[in-house]
Amino acid sequence: MIRKLLRRVFRRDAPSRHAPATIPHARHGIDRALVAVGARRVCETLQGAGFKGYIVGGAVRDLIAGIEPKDFDIATDATPDQVRALFRRSRIIGRRFQIVHVMMGSETLEVSTFRAAHDENTLKDEHGRVLRDNIWGTMEEDAARRDFTVNALYYDPVTETVFDYHRGVDDLKQKTMRMIGEPKSRYREDPVRMLRAVRLSAKLGLTLDPAVRAPIKEMAALMENVPPARLFDEMLKLLFSGCAVECVKRLRHEGLHHGLLPLLDVILDQPLGEKFVMLALASTDARVRADKPTSPGFLFATLLWHEVLANWAERKAAQELPVPALFAAMDEVLDQQAEKLAITRRIAGDIKDIWLLQPRFEKRSGKSPLRMIEQPRFRAAYDFLLLRAESGEVPQELADWWTKFQDEDHAGREAMLLPDTTKKKRRSRSRGRKAAEAAAPEAAD
Q: How far apart are CA 183 and CA 189, in angstroms?
A: 10
Is residue 147 part of the annotated active site? The answer reads: yes
Nearest to residue 203, comparing CAs of 172, 180, 170, 169? 172
Helix, strand counts (H, E) of the chain: 23, 12
Active-site residue identified among 71, 353, 383, 420: 71
Amino acid at the residue 339:
E
Angle 244-254/192-204 helices, nearest 10 degrees? 130
Asked whether the beta carbons of 78 and 113 are under 8 A apart, the reply is yes
Give me the catalytic one of 147, 171, 209, 285: 147
Catalytic residue status for 445: no
Say whether 133 sits in a helix, a strand or coil.
Answer: coil
| Annotated catalytic residue, options 62, 73, 142, 164 | 73
C-alpha separations of 279 from 82, 234, 241, 256, 383 in Å: 49, 21, 16, 21, 12
- Measured between alpha carbons, how far is 229 from 341 in angstroms, rounded to an integer? 6
Query: What would the DSSP string read from start to end of 237-303?
Result: HHHTSS-HHHHHHHHHHHT--TTTSTTHHHHTTSHHHHHHHHHHHHHHHHHHHTT----HHHHHHHH
Catalytic site includes residue 350: no
Please state, in angstroms and rounded to a whole number, the distance separating the CA atoms of residues 355 and 220. 31
Q: Any idea what the Cα angle at residue 87 is, between residues 151 and 70, rounded to 5°? A: 35
Q: Please name the amino acid found at residue 124.
A: K
Residues that are catalytic: 71, 73, 147
